[in-house]
Structure formats: structure tokens, C-alpha cells
Amino acid sequence: MEELNCSFCGRKKPDTQILVAGIDAHICEKCVDQAIGIIQHEKTGITELENFEDLLLKKPKEIKSFLDDYVVGQEIAKKILSVAVYNHYKRLKFYDEKNELEIQKSNIILVGPTGTGKTLLAKTIAKMLKVPIAIVDATVLTEAGYVGEDVESILSRLLQSADYDLNKAQKGIVFIDEIDKITRKSDNPSITRDVSGEGVQQALLKLLEGTVVNVPPRGGRKHPDQKFVEINTENILFIAGGAFDGIERIISKRLNLQSVGYNSSSKNFSFNYEDILSNITPKDLKDFGLIPEIVGRLPVLSFMKTLDKATLKSIMIQPKNSLIKQYQQLFEIDNIDLTFSNDAIDYIVNQAVIYSLGARGLRSLCETILTDAMFELPGTAIKTLKITRNYCENKLKGIAMNQLKAAS
């Protein structure tokens, strides 16, 4: 029996609510809604870009102010990101086909240790702008024809995030995490192909620059009998992030070349990690293993600072969706009043610094501390729970570090 699917977007019948049958074709409820929108556009003259008016009116200061509510610290990264995002969507609003001057989009790359907020920044911006976002892991990508996922699967996820609305997907945001894991494995020629390194970088080039790609709507590998959706990536904003572990040595080596003499290096360049990372340049990314073509297509470069104790404590308390507020909300649903003492917060922060897990380590620790309470207290007569330092120490006693890492 032939499996029915939508002739327009390719969705299979089980994935639709309504599939209207025609003589030789079928159409799902999503495509019907999209067709209604096109008809309304033709009747009213409202352009596609005007549907994004609220998004486009956000100024860089407004974007950064919104980020401040959810992301603690990282002032330089938030400023650079706000300007880049504003310029990207401003470019969509004021682009005129009659104008000979074409403004190129500015994709972004964020460099910083794990747990510093790279993914959170991308998610928060997408939340503010109300655009679809796809978060993908570069480590699973391989060249076409090899075991793994094709690069086009990135756009399949964006299309799914946009609920198969092609217009929204073509103005969305793609966050490529762990981009440092697809660097060149070696500068030396080899008889084996680098199918998950340089090969993936080559495949990403056209996507980053802007091209029309045939994308399988449901993801997976391409095959000849499959129906595709054409997605234009010209207006999709790509944000890449990676830890680039060890890049500080490359930066240090470059900085030391500016010194003269045997002892001048040690006298003039006593940097810590943050000081070194703040001097990062595109050349450092190239020396780390990104090919020059992909570095050129990620022109906006920013770095993320390592989170210190003060910042980690602020993350637990200050943001609108801070960890403590999240757990308090969870307990409040069961009519339990949850509070943390200052000593308990300081202890959790100190443990996160020791384990070097960044902001993710805070959640791992809180989960470990509160698991027993979340299991035992719902449905009991206990209506208050105060977390103290002694309570935290008892719950974390004997917990292996690798368990915390697995939970983060």
C-alpha cells in the first residue's frame, strides 16, 4: 500500500492532522494555512518582511538589554552579538532589489570554554526575535555518502523548528555547536579522507554564504525517490560556537613573536586565560584547523569569558530564569516553599568552580542535591524546605565527579 504524504511539503500522513486528497495530489493543513497567507498578501499588499516588523525594530541596546535579563556577564560577547543580529535583520528590511549595493550577511562565531553561555545566547536571541532556531552538533556531521548526518540535515531541523513554514525557516537562526571538532586533523597529506573534519567544512561553505539547497523535510539521507524542499540560506543567520581547547597556546605563540630577546617574553606577557583569549583573531582560528574559506564566512568573532565565582553566583540568583527560581517553581507546584541559605549557594558555586563545569555544573549539582527531596516530599505534609550548607555537603558526599559530568 502506497504511503500518502503532502505533495507540497512532503510530510507523511501520520505527521499531519488533516490531509486533503485531490485528483493526483494531497495537501496538509499547514500548507493550506500557508496558501491562505499568500492569498491575503496578494489582496492586502502586505509584504513578507512587514510580518517581521516587531523583530526588525529591535535596536542593539534593546537586544542587549533583553540578553541581560537572561545571560549574566559576557558583556563584550553580548554587545558584539547584538550589533551583528541587528545589522542582519535590518539588512532584510531595507534591502531593495533595485539598489546595486548588496549588503552581505554577517555570520558569527563564539569561542569560549564549555558552560559559558554560547548556546544560551543564541537561544535567548531567537526567543526575543520570535524566529525559529535550530541547534545542531557539528560532531555528527560527515561528508555526503559516509556514516553520519549530511550537512543539509541542519536545514531539516530548522524547517521542523519553523513548523514547516518555509518563509519563517528562511529567516531563522542556526546555531552550530562544537564547530571546533570539525577542524583539520592534520596539515600533512594522507591516504585517508578527513570525512568528519575538513570535508564537513567544505560542505558548510555554501550554506554559510547563501545558496538554494534541496532539503529532505523529515531529515535523514537523500535518495532519488525522495521529495525535497528548496531552502534559500541567504537570509539565515548562522552562529557557530566552540571551546577551541588549546587555542590559547596558539594565541600566546603569536603574541610572543612581537617580543625581542630571550627574556622579554616572560617579562612582558604574563597573561591569564581570559587576557589571552581576548586577543583572538581569525588567523588563530585558521592555525587551529578551520579552513580560511570558512573563517571568512564567519566574519563576526567574539570570545566568552570563563565564569568566576561571582558570575556563577549571579547566574543562580539574578536572571529571570535563574536556577533557584526554576526549582522554587517546581516545588511550588507541590505547595512546597523552597529556600536556599547564602552558605548553601556559596558552597554549590565553589563546587562548580572545582569541577570546572561552568554554568552547566550548577544544574548538575542542584539536581544531585535536590533529587531525594523531589522524590520524597510531593504528597507529604511537609510544606517548607530550606537548603543549607550541611544539607548540600551530605547530599554530595561520595558523589563521583564523572556522575556530575554525565548529568551536565
C-alpha grid cell, residue 390: 550541611
- Listed in sequence order, the residues at least 6 apart from 96 whose beta carbon sits closer than 8 Å to its beta carbon are none
For 92-112, how does the pLDDT look when each residue is reduced to its tens digit (9 = 90+)?
A: 776 655 566 677 788 999 998
- Listed in sequence order, the residues at least 6 apart from 218 whose beta carbon sits closer than 8 Å to its beta carbon are 10, 11, 12, 15, 156
Using 50, 70 and 90 to split pLDDT, how confident is the model at 259? Answer: very low
Residue bearing the bigger pLDDT, 359 or 78? 78
Assess contact for 367 and 394: CB atoms under 8 A: no
Distance CA 19, CA 12 (A): 9
**What's the mean pLDDT in 68-74?**
87
Using 50, 70 and 90 to split pLDDT, how confident is the model at 47? Answer: very low
HEC string of 203-226? HHHHHHHCCEEEECCCCCCCCCCC
Assess contact for 247 and 288: CB atoms under 8 A: yes
**What's the mean pLDDT in 79-90?**
88
Nearest to 234, CA basis, from 158, 161, 168, 170: 170
Distance CA 194, CA 200 (A): 9
Nearest to 280, CA basis, from 63, 109, 105: 109
For 295-320, how does the pLDDT look when each residue is reduced to its tens digit (9 = 90+)?
A: 999 999 999 888 888 888 998 998 88
Q: Please provide residue 183's backbone torsions phi and psi, each rounded to the nearest 5 degrees.
A: -75, 165
Using 50, 70 and 90 to split pLDDT, how confident is the model at 390? Answer: very high
Distance CA 319, CA 327 (A): 13
Q: Please provide residue 215's backbone torsions phi and psi, each rounded to the nearest 5 degrees.
A: -120, 130
Distance CA 246, CA 269 (A): 18
Distance CA 246, CA 104 (A): 32
Angle at 159 between CA 153 and CA 165, to 5 degrees: 160
Q: Which residue has 567544505 as its cell numbers? A: 202
In the predicted model, is pLDDT for residue 327 greater than 50?
Answer: yes
- At residue 370, the pLDDT reads 93
Chain centroid, CA 198 distance in Å:
21
Q: Which residue has 520524597 as its cell numbers? A: 376
Assess contact for 320 and 312: CB atoms under 8 A: no
Distance CA 146, CA 150 (A): 8
| Predicted TM-score of the model (pTM) | 0.73
C-alpha grid cell, residue 392: 548540600
For 146-195, how does the pLDDT look when each residue is reduced to its tens digit (9 = 90+)?
A: 656 778 888 888 888 888 888 888 888 899 988 988 887 655 555 455 55
